[in-house]
Amino acid sequence: NAGVMQNPRHLVRRRGQEARLRCSPMKGHSHVYWYRQLPEEGLKFMVYLQKENIIDESGMPKERFSAEFPKEGPSILRIQQVVRGDSAAYFCASSPAKGTAENTIYFGEGSWLTVV
Amino acid sequence: GENVEQHPSTLSVQEGDSAVIKCTYSDSASNYFPWYKQELGKRPQLIIDIRSNVGEKKDQRIAVTLNKTAKHFSLHITETQPEDSAVYFCAAIATDSWGKLQFGAGTQVVVTP
């Protein structure tokens, strides 16, 4: 059973370019979460998605960032017109359902974005 | 919203000694408290978790305690080994906010042989 799959693992973008990060949840998981980890900091929640729905985007910056989880295919976190401050590790996580005692949230290996 | 504070920020221990990391939370609705271990350049890895209907949980050399009244929980690592060196994060979440983990700032643990 493959875990949460993220790609690319490392991405370098010049200022002003776009970054697209992809996440495939664990098999059987329908809930996807994106977190951002700035250098030497903890993880900060960005967005919670289910298939074709954004459930909670309270942690997303108001501009340049968007996320989707289409009916088919992986979840995508998109950052437009990247700036140096976007350099961070972006972690995707998934869970099978919401709020049950058996739920555990599993993280992918992360995508490290460097903006030069 | 939830606010999680974690102490200490760094912890150096001799191999074989115990390490204790403490976290406090603010939201009384929080009822699930996972601990993650993160090695440099790697993903956070769940090492143990506790739910609010339990006061203590143990898994080999790792244990977690929860005091709901005081709103604090702790990670205990006994007989530390060099491979325990990593950054450890506590987190808290309420089931009606599932997925929106609130993380502590992390503790850098260094185990010296």
Is B34 touching A (CB cutoff 8 A)?
yes
Instruction: List phi, psi (to 5°) of A16.
Output: 95, -15
Model pLDDT for residues B73-110, shown as the tens digit of each residue = 999 999 999 999 999 999 998 877 777 889 999 999 99
Model pLDDT for residues B16-53, shown as the tens digit of each residue = 999 999 999 999 989 899 999 999 989 999 999 998 88
User: Distance between CA atoms of A68 and A91, rounded to whole angstroms?
Assistant: 15
Contacts of A51 by beta carbon, 8 Å cutoff, 6+ apart: A30, A69, A70, A71
A interface mutation test: which of B43, B57, B107 has the most A CBs within 10 A?
B43
